Each structure stands twice: as C-alpha cells, then as structure tokens.
Amino acid sequence: MIKEMQEQTCDAIFKNGVFQPLNVSEIEITEGQKVKLIIEPFDSSEDILELASSVYKGLSKEQIDEIEHLILNRDNFFNGRPSTWHQQNNL
C-alpha cells in the first residue's frame, strides 16, 4: 500500500540549477519522489519585523533608554561635520 504524501511547504534556494531546501528536516518525502513545485518569491519582510522586534531583547530599561537617546540625538551624528545633504543645500 502506497502512503499518500501530504502537501508541504518549505523554504528553498535555487543554486546551480537545483532547488535546495533550507531545512531538509522539515520535509517528509521519500528519495526519488516526484513533486510539483510552486515557486513564490521569499517574503523577507517577516524576517525584518522579527529582527526589529528582537533588537532590545535582553537589555535593561536603562540600556534601551541610552541607545534611544544616542539614536535620536543627531547633534554628533557626523562627528561635528555637516552632512552631505547639508552641504548640497548650503545649510
């Protein structure tokens, strides 16, 4: 009796003419099994959101406040030099 394979989704990369799964352990398939590929572009926006949400992970409130202060304080952003934009706009 042949077991019917369930539909599966996995991320893959196309390299040297071959689709290579990024995580083979996610796939339940027998060697030589014929499959139908539906190719969709990889949406990296989810990865970017996940990365952005983990920026402050493990930091104390004081550390986060210090980082945000440095980010928001643009006075020394260019080490006292005017930015290229300022120079181009004669500011």
Q: What is the pLDDT of residue 17?
A: 93
- Report DSSP state, residue 40: -
Is position 64 within any domain? yes
Range of the domain at 71: 45-78
Whole-angstrom CA distances from 22 to 1, 9, 11, 15, 62 are: 31, 11, 6, 12, 38
pLDDT at 41: 79
Tell me, yes or no, whether 52 lies in a domain. Answer: yes
Number of domains in the chain: 1
Q: Is the dihedral of CA 50, 52, 57, 61 positive or negative?
A: negative
Question: Is pLDDT above 70 for 82?
Answer: no
Q: How confident is the model at residue 83, as a pLDDT?
A: 61
- The answer to the question of residue 1 being in a domain is no
